[in-house]
Amino acid sequence: MNKFKINIQGMTCTGCEEHVAVVLENVGAKNIEASFRRGEAVFELPDNIGVESAKKAIDKAKYQPGEIEEIQSEEKMVLGDEGDYDLLIIGSGGAAFSAAIKSVEYGAKVAMIERGTVGGTCVNIGCVPSKTLLRAGEINHLAKVNPFIGLQTSAGEVKLAPLVKQKDELVSELRKQKYVNLIDEYGFDLIDGEAKFVDVNTVEVNGKKLSAKRFLIATGASPSLPPISGLEEVDYLTSTTLLELKKVPKRLTVIGSGYIGMELGQLFHNLGSEVTLMQRSERLLKEYDPEISEAIEKALIEQGINLVKGATFERVEQEGQIKKVHVTVDGKEKVVESEQLLVATGRRPNTDTLNLSAAGVEVGNRKEILINDYARTSNEKIYAAGDVTLGPQFVYVAAYEGGIVSDNAIGGLNKKLDLSVVPGVTFTNPSIATVGLTEEQAKEQGYEVKTSVLPLDAVPRAIVNRETTGVFKLVADANTLKVLGVHIVSENAGEVIYAATLAVKFGLTVEDLKESLAPYLTMAEGLKLAALTFDKDVSKLSCCAG
């Protein structure tokens, strides 16, 4: 069998994909994968069938076939015949475990090298500890400030040390359940130590050299420091060390107001700190749609969080326990003082100690590992996945990539990474959830765009909750009304975005959303209402009326 990829214009939905697959199957093609989003089909043909027959079949079906490329299929690895391991993984987070589990299921001999704590960022110092404390902060905030007349609620001083102890116990339990216990369950080796490459086939750990047929680098990323004068001389906090504090600071300054800065800033505001978020940009979340930025900014200000935007950071200094951040805003100098200073200005890939040059692995200008569509590095035996590549910084993306690495490195399947539809959630309150294209991105890609913007005070669930600061925005192709992007600021936006992800991934239209039943008094009903808003004033509809 010979494997081919052909570019196809004219496919607009999953139905088109099925149509193309049928016509290719009729000429003898096998293992067909058609994608209207990528505008291509990948398939195999027996030696006795020419690829031109496939091209003619696609043309006859009223699609426009383009360039054809023959794909050199990677043979499935012969397992266990040479070297120490079939797959040697550096790192032990989501990407690493996903790749290890699937590779073991292929029958591979696998080892994982970890220099620190098993489990990676998410369970140890990221998602799990921050989200459990965020929930605690929300409860404390609602106890102090609730919107319902007649409810007498109050909150005393927060005792952070027992909260952090409870958080640590949860982290430990989940680390065991979801990571450590799986090592024996699946039967791969865990090697404690720091790995560095000595050549294209070998790493050294604790003075011992280990070889493998394939490698996966999944070493993640760490907080990075901005180039601000004096910063390295003060006792600043990172997203890791902030979650280890035993006492709530009276004042907290946060340099950086991306998703990490906003989540942790709001957490400590809800626990009782006076919080100031500071950023260089004039707009919060400048890569998001402006309606999203405006809604979350309004919410944070209403809650009493201080925002400093458009700041030029001059220097940082410390006097006793007080940290002073000197900035210039609108030409005026300003000093922000606080007991604690959090630096949340992005993350850098953990590649410094790997000696990648010895392995022939190329990195980018931020020292991230460069990979192709198959997660392969410049060394065909070495793959990379997760945050070390500086792709979308989500554990579920890392796990997905780890699975693709196993399929390609061990299974020889030549699967492409598809990160065209990746939902993202920021766990503030209200939360922010997005998937697909922003309005600006859609226009840049050549779409004629139609949008719907629905304020949260038009969503019944928000009205009865008495929390109406937020927005739903749909971005659609003006010609087909296919949903290209969904962007939400609301309570439980992260729960709603999965439905939106399915809409974007499978090419649903605004009409599909309109015609689908949405449970009344759920935040997910906002999706349907936003779809109705394309041609109706929902404020003039009765409950549930479409």
Known catalytic residues are 11, 13, 16, 63, 122, 127, 543-544
Distance of CA 258 to the CA centre of its chain: 13
- Residue 382 marked in a binding site: no
DSSP string covering 263-326: HHHHHHHHHT-EEEEE-SSSSTTTTS-HHHHHHHHHHHHHHT-EEE-SEEEEEEEEETTEEEEE
CB-based contacts of 389, cutoff 8 Å, min separation 6: 349, 368, 369, 370, 371, 401
Flag whether 450 is marked binding.
no
Is 131 annotated in a binding site? The answer is: yes
> Can you give 203-249 as a three-state secondary structure string?
EEECCEEEEEEEEEECCCEEECCCCCECHHHCCCECHHHHCCCCCCC
220 is an annotated ligand-binding site residue: no
DSSP designation for 84: S
The answer on whether 125 is annotated among ligand-binding residues is: no
SS (H, E, C) 351-385: CCCCCHHHHCCCECCCCCECCCCCCECCCCCEEEC
- Determine contact, residues 218/90, Cβ cutoff 8 Å: yes
In DSSP terms, 333 is beta-bridged to 328
Is 91 annotated in a binding site? The answer is no
- β-strand 64-71 against 2-9: which pairing, if any? antiparallel
Is 256 annotated among the ligand-binding residues?
yes
Give the integer Cα–Cα distance in Å for 370 and 322.
41
Is 259 annotated to bind a ligand? Reply is: yes
CA atoms of 197 and 419, how far apart (whole Å)? 29
118-155: string of b/e by CB count within 10 Å (b at 16+)?
A: bbbbbbbbbbbbbebbbebbbebbbeeeeeeeeeeeee
Contact 236, 343 (CB under 8 A): yes
Does 40 show up as a binding residue in the annotation?
Answer: no
Sign of CA dihedral 8, 11, 12, 18: negative
Start-to-end CA distance of the chain, whole Å, equals 52
d(CA 222, CA 332): 33
Instruction: Identify the helix (H) or strand (E) that includes residue 402.
Output: helix 395-409
* Residues flagged as binding site for FAD: 131, 346, 387
* Residues flagged as binding site: 131, 256-263, 346, 387
* Residues flagged as binding site for NAD(+): 256-263
